[in-house]
């Protein structure tokens, strides 16, 4: 299966289904951002600390694998020069819709988060990356490309799954509410699903996921050259709670800097 193509089509379908990450922000949110009262959500319930992004006025910001009409328009309204990159054309339509509705300027670019060849080295001051590398078979190229297109002193704010959520047998949870650890890490839908399950994913437009280890997520950023200067965790929305997320945070967010030797906090 061509995972990139499958997930492009699947996320187009997710727009039709009304996935929460495909619903654009409203006009009040944009008006607040224009007044400097804005919050950025890369995970479901906890915003990025404002100390991590005290101001984006005049900065070149890449919203990486971040379509859906949420992060990009907020940052554009806050004064950033925004580029949104996403694999799904329908997700990018959401950003264009908000930009047209609110009179915002942003660029919406279709592409693979692991291949940013359309951007020159040192193109951006900041990168924001919501929980989307769960749809990438290999996360290390994502970190390498992010490092390349950032300017020295630039910051990557990246959210990703706590890998433990991929270890549990979801079918057993749905059937009996029993937590059964079934899968080793790293996890891959492409390697684990049966032919019948893959057919269902194709027919129903379900994205294929990959559970990357913390070594790949955090260690991979360090290998690419980032200096990690911050971290926080977040949980599922109550209505989306999964087997282990009643016991442990579901998501991790890191702040990584392309350092010039000076650590900025």
Per-residue pLDDT at 261: 59
Give per-residue pLDDT as tens, 13-70: 999 999 999 999 999 999 999 999 999 999 999 999 999 999 999 999 999 999 999 9
* Residue 61 DSSP symbol: E
Contact 134, 157 (CB under 8 A): no
Contact 158, 132 (CB under 8 A): no
C-alpha 89/C-alpha 184 separation (Å) is 33
The CATH architecture annotation of domain 3-162+211-257 reads: 3-Layer(aba) Sandwich (3.40)
Give per-residue pLDDT as tens, 3-15: 999 999 999 999 9
* Rounded alpha-carbon distances, angstroms, from residue 167 to 40, 86, 161, 163, 236: 29, 27, 12, 7, 16
The number of beta carbons lying within 10 Å of the beta carbon of residue 171 is: 11
Give per-residue pLDDT as tens, 163-201: 999 999 988 888 998 999 999 999 999 999 999 999 999
Per-residue pLDDT at 262: 55
Per-residue pLDDT at 260: 73
C-alpha 227/C-alpha 220 separation (Å) is 11
Structure-block tokens of residue 170: 């979801």
pLDDT-based confidence at residue 246 (cuts at 50, 70, 90) = confident
Q: What is the pTM of this model?
A: 0.95
Half-sphere exposure of 88 (CA within 13 A, CB side): 27
Domain locations in the chain as residue ranges: 3-162+211-257
Counting runs of H as helices and runs of E as strands, what totals does the chain give? Answer: 10, 9
Residue 93 has pLDDT above 60, yes or no: yes
C-alpha 158/C-alpha 117 separation (Å) is 20
SS3 for 153?
Answer: strand
pLDDT-based confidence at residue 243 (cuts at 50, 70, 90) = confident
Structure-block tokens of residue 22: 């495909």
């Amino acid at each position: 299966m061509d995972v990139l193509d499958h997930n492009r089509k699947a996320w187009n379908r997710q727009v039709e289904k009304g996935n929460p990450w495909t619903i654009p922000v409203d006009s009040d949110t944009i008006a607040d951002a224009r007044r400097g009262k804005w919050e950025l959500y890369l995970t479901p319930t906890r915003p990025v600390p404002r100390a991590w992004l005290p101001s984006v006025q005049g900065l070149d910001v890449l919203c990486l694998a971040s379509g859906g009409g949420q992060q990009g328009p907020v940052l554009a309204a806050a004064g950033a020069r925004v580029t949104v990159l996403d694999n799904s054309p329908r997700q990018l339509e959401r950003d264009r819709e908000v930009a047209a509705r609110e009179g915002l300027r942003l660029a919406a670019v279709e592409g693979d988060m692991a291949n940013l060849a359309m951007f020159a080295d040192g193109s951006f001051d900041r990168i924001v990356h919501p929980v989307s590398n769960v749809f990438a078979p290999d996360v290390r190229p994502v970190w390498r490309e992010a490092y390349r297109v950032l300017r020295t002193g630039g910051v990557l704010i990246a959210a990703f799954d706590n890998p433990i959520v991929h270890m549990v047998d979801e079918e057993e949870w749905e059937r009996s509410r029993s937590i059964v650890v079934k899968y080793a890490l790293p996890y891959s839908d492409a390697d684990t699903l049966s032919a019948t399950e893959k057919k269902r994913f194709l027919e129903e437009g379900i994205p294929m996921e990959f559970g990357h280890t913390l070594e790949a997520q955090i260690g991979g950023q360090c290998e690419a050259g980032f200096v990690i200067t911050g971290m926080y965790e977040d949980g599922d929305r109550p209505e989306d709670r999964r087997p282990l997320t009643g016991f442990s945070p579901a998501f991790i967010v890191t702040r990584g800097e392309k350092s010039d030797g000076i650590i900025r906090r």
